[in-house]
């Protein structure tokens, strides 16, 4: 076996923001069925660790171009975490103050990451769900004259995925099969932006969209009410709290509505939260790919689809983020801090540097 070596990227970067995108498509070698080839688009390679880095830079730079964001103006947004972390990184690099509203139910490490990146985090009661943190962000923007990032409505969301994520997929699979593209949704930006490209240039690629089984709001057939600015005016009645953080707020975002109206996905598959946790753990332990519950949930749907996929099919699965922002969630439940009996036995098998048995 030859020694691995690296040569550098052949360029230097003027800003951390220039490193957003161009994330790798990685083959799954051990846990995918033999009759299909499965790749994951691993968005943890973005500088702030998630797919939402794309959204953050897209929103801020579009607002700079059209003049709706003024130099030094405070940015405010409601987020379950990843968008806030991405915005905090972008705002830190560009010099904008950032205020994030987030329901108290989301993981503690997410709010700490945003604060570490210089953002202010305003918590909202978990009983008010996503609509509560959304309403708070909107109210703060209107009261203080802040720029509301509007990730759930802005055209910049899907646009950045069409111009980056979609183009990367086309380049990575140029001249090769791509039979399935599998993703979940939070704002809907990923599926809408990528589907614009695939429907136009790879119409034979089957797009599978997923949502939590206990919060299947798209599958319910009911669309929540919205105002003239396309902002939700109610919490979706079919929503229930679910463990797939970053997926499916308690309303159908306007950005996702384009995919619904234009038939951008071929199948809508609900997935139980425990399945997402189980597959995230398998990706880590058996492939060395460290992603969160949302990535595990998308992968679970892909594995279900693979059962009936024709021989030789090629699948690409979106993995939105890194697993490190789930340390306080059910993803890590049952993992001990101290040594297990098996680990203690390994320690005791040689005499050096032994820990005392408790």
Dmax (CA) of the chain = 72
- Backbone φ and ψ for 204, nearest 5 degrees, come out as -80, -10
Among candidates 115, 69, 91, which has minimal Cα distance to 17?
A: 91
> By the 8 A CB rule, do 255 and 154 touch?
yes
3 state SS of 294: helix
120 is known as an active-site residue: no
Inter-residue contact 137 to 78 (CB < 8 Å): yes
Instruction: Tell me whether residue 339 is exposed, middle or buried, using C-beta atoms within 10 angstroms of its C-beta: 0 to 12, 13 to 18, 19 or more.
Output: middle
User: Interior CA angle at 228 toward 227 and 230, to 5°?
Assistant: 65
Q: Annotated catalytic residue: which of 41, 50, 52, 235?
A: 52
Contact, 185 vs 248, CB < 8 A?
yes
Q: Is 119 exposed, middle or buried (0-12, 13-18, 19+ CB in 10 A)?
A: buried
CA–CA distance, 61 with 64 (Å, rounded to integer): 5
Phi and psi of 79, rounded to 5°?
-155, 150
Do residues 88 and 117 touch, judged by C-beta distance below 8 A?
yes
Where in the chain does DSSP place strands (E)?
25-27, 36-42, 75-78, 98-103, 120-124, 147-148, 180-183, 206-212, 267-271, 313-319
Q: Annotated catalytic residue: which of 135, 259, 294, 313?
A: 294
Query: Which residues, 6 or more positions from 52, have their beta carbon under 8 angstroms from its beta carbon?
Result: 82, 83, 85, 86, 87, 320, 321
Angle, helices 82-94/108-116, rounded to nearest 10 degrees? 0
Q: Decide if 86 contacts 149 (C-beta within 8 A).
A: no
Active site residue 294: yes
Residues with catalytic function = 52, 294
């Amino acid at each position: 076996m030859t020694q691995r070596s690296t040569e550098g990227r052949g360029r230097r970067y003027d800003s951390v923001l220039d490193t957003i995108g161009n994330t790798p498509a990685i083959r799954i070698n051990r846990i995918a069925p033999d009759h299909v080839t499965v790749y994951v688009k691993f968005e943890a390679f973005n500088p702030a660790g998630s797919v939402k880095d794309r959204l953050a830079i897209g929103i801020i730079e579009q607002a700079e171009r059209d003049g709706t964001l003024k130099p030094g103006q405070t940015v405010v947004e409601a987020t379950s975490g990843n968008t806030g972390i991405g915005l905090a990184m972008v705002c830190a690099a560009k010099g904008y103050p950032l205020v994030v509203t987030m329901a108290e139910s989301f993981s503690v490490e997410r709010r700490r990451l945003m604060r570490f990146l210089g953002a202010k985090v305003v918590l909202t009661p978990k009983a008010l769900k996503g609509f509560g943190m959304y309403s708070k962000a909107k109210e703060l923007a209107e009261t203080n004259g802040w720029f509301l990032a509007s990730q759930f409505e802005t055209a910049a969301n899907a646009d950045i995925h069409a111009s980056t994520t979609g183009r990367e997929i086309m380049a990575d699979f140029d001249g090769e099969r791509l039979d399935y593209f599998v993703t979940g949704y939070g704002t809907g930006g990923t599926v809408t932006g990528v589907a614009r490209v695939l429907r136009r240039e790879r119409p034979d690629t089957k797009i599978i969209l997923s949502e939590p089984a206990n919060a299947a709001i798209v599958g319910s057939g009911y669309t929540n009410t919205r105002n003239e600015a396309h902002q939700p005016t109610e919490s979706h009645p079919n929503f229930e709290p679910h463990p797939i953080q970053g997926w499916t707020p308690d309303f159908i975002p306007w950005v996702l509505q384009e995919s619904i109206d234009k038939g951008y996905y071929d199948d809508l598959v609900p997935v139980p939260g425990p399945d997402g946790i189980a597959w995230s753990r398998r990706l880590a332990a058996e492939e060395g790919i460290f992603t969160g519950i949302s990535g595990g949930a998308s992968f679970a749907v892909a594995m279900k689809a693979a059962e009936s996929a024709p021989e030789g099919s090629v699948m690409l699965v979106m993995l939105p983020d890194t697993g490190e922002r789930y340390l306080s969630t059910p993803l890590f439940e049952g993992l001990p801090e101290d040594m297990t009996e098996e680990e203690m036995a390994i320690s005791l098998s040689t005499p050096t540097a032994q820990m005392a048995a408790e």
